[in-house]
Chains A and B, each alone.
Chain A
């Protein structure tokens, strides 16, 4: 029933002399939440950015819906139904909240914009209150909501989130994971989630991968990984805040 939407075949990537990805194989199926966990510097963000050609994979192949997109120019990739909420949010600080959202919808049908905005305000009411405010003046949590909202404006089939909980207050972290689950269950959106917060991520995900030094060292369902001794020892120690 589940159809493969995204597939990495032995992907390598370099940042200058640094060999950041060493032959990664990864699959995301339609309708899944897949999470990628790993320590700082394991290559999680690189894995996500190679999908957009930043940097371009130095070897291997990335397929999206069966098309080889390894070398597709960055700007053509998100037009195919992928949207990224990048690490550090990267909202446009000197533009208003509304303008940031409009930037997300540059290549979606303008007829949908009003409805999409309403849907996003329904998820993040704070954005509607701050609509004409400069995005740089928002709090970290609000900026994260905006970054997610901006990504949703393109009506993606595959949503990629890079450390959406990083630096957020616990209340916001809960909200982010609730939204992720909602998007998946209600809208059937496929989600690839990179997280350091392994506990939350594995709880919400159907399947997970563990990345270490640029290699996938472990894979399994969310529950399996949560129960795994290795994962517990390496990624869950000390992060025992209840979900």
Chain B
């Protein structure tokens, strides 16, 4: 029983991180109808950047945890947003009117480029940082198993929920959100109404990258180690989460993330940690076979 509750907490945390990355996938998909395959690597870049910024802050003597975290978040979000903008500018915009496969390939190219760039400039070794937020609560001992809730886990869950609420509001209630949804439905008409479609798409990539940046910073703080290759697997898992929840749907991305986080942590605890990735990908295949529109995806019924 204690073990079960512990895995629920771990799964929730992991799921929140996947959900955050999945939000970025789903937002970009929502506006251009395409998967940004460089998104996972944007997240990796953010995680590496977090290590750098935290180390620099430590060297500069800024050790108060909330302040250091805040500065890191702001700096990493800003720089990662620039990466997001660049990916769109380089890999997507020149191919706006090309066949759909072309930007997918160029995005995969961006992904390979980012991984290699980080490996070359930062080295391939795993990068550790000091535990920034050690400790947590002991929730009690059940059946001889002590359940822990780490401060970092609380942070991740709270930040994720807050961002989900913020972005849902942004997309459904604001003028920018309407423009974004309009771009998705009819780009020409949106431009005819005076909206700068290219700029709206750029902003969306930057927002998606910003979400990946938050996920990257939090994972760095949570695990304390990152390297250049974490983007690939995390990216594919978050992609699975987005598809599972229904690509294009923000709550769906979060729900998908949570389900995958749960599957992973329970699989690792009760079956075998080596095969946890297999579980995720089997799920991806099943979803694509039996429910390609995902759990909360919209049914494609429209009057013309």
Q: Do A and B bind each other?
A: yes
Looking at A74, A86, A107, the one whose CB has the most chain B CB atoms below 10 A away is A74
Bitwise interface map of B from 268 to 304 toward A, beta carbon under 8 Å scored 1, else 0: 0000000000000000000000000000001000110
CA distance A77 to B188 in the complex (A): 13
> Is A239 part of the binding interface, using a Cβ–Cβ cutoff of 8 Å?
no
Chain B facing A: main interface SS: helix
Please state if A106 and B303 are interface contacts (CB–CB under 8 Å). Answer: no
Please tell me which stretch of B118-126, B145-153, B192-200 contacts chain A, meaning at least 4 of its Cβ atoms lie within 8 angstroms of it.
B192-200
Please state if A84 and B182 are interface contacts (CB–CB under 8 Å). Answer: no
* Chain B residues within 8 Å of A79, by CB: 194
State how many angstroms separate the Cβ of B194 from the closest Cβ of chain A.
Answer: 4
> Is A186 part of the binding interface, using a Cβ–Cβ cutoff of 8 Å?
no
Please state if B194 and A106 are interface contacts (CB–CB under 8 Å). Answer: yes
Known: A93-B303, A99-B178. A86 touches B195 (CB 8 A): no
Please state if B193 and A93 are interface contacts (CB–CB under 8 Å). Answer: no
Cβ-defined partner of B179 (8 Å) among A78, A106, A136, A154? A106
> Is A90 part of the binding interface, using a Cβ–Cβ cutoff of 8 Å?
yes
Known: A106-B193, A107-B194, A154-B194. A136 touches B188 (CB 8 A): no
Please state if A94 and B185 are interface contacts (CB–CB under 8 Å). Answer: yes
Please state if B196 and A103 are interface contacts (CB–CB under 8 Å). Answer: no
> Is B181 part of the binding interface, using a Cβ–Cβ cutoff of 8 Å?
yes
CA distance A145 to B298 in the complex (A): 26
Nearest chain-A residue to B199 (Cβ)?
A: A75
Q: Which of B225-266 contact A (CB under 8 A)?
A: none
Bitwise interface map of B from 168 to 183 toward A, beta carbon under 8 Å scored 1, else 0: 0000000100110110
Total count of chain A residues near the partner, CB < 8 A = 27
Please state if A93 and B302 are interface contacts (CB–CB under 8 Å). Answer: yes
CA distance A94 to B249 in the complex (A): 13
State how many angstroms separate the Cβ of B225 from the closest Cβ of chain A.
Answer: 43
Total count of chain B residues near the partner, CB < 8 A = 20
Q: Which of A53-107 contact B (CB under 8 A)?
A: 54, 73-79, 84, 86, 90, 92-95, 99, 102-104, 106-107
> Is B189 part of the binding interface, using a Cβ–Cβ cutoff of 8 Å?
yes
Looking at A73, A84, A90, the one whose CB has the most chain B CB atoms below 10 A away is A90
CA distance A107 to B302 in the complex (A): 29
> Is B117 part of the binding interface, using a Cβ–Cβ cutoff of 8 Å?
no
Known: A92-B185, A102-B175. A78 touches B193 (CB 8 A): yes
Nearest chain-A residue to B189 (Cβ)?
A: A90
Known: A102-B175, A136-B303, A137-B303. A95 touches B182 (CB 8 A): yes
CA distance A134 to B31 in the complex (A): 19
CA distance A166 to B234 in the complex (A): 51
> Is A209 part of the binding interface, using a Cβ–Cβ cutoff of 8 Å?
no
**Sample of 19 further A-B pairs with CB below 8 A, known A75-B197, A104-B193:** A54-B192, A74-B191, A74-B192, A75-B194, A75-B196, A77-B194, A78-B192, A78-B194, A92-B185, A93-B303, A94-B185, A95-B181, A95-B182, A102-B175, A103-B182, A106-B194, A137-B303, A138-B303, A154-B194
Residues in chain B within 8 A of chain A (CB atoms): 175, 178-179, 181-182, 185-186, 188-197, 298, 302-303
Residues in chain A within 8 A of chain B (CB atoms): 52, 54, 73-79, 84, 86, 90, 92-95, 99, 102-104, 106-107, 136-138, 150, 154
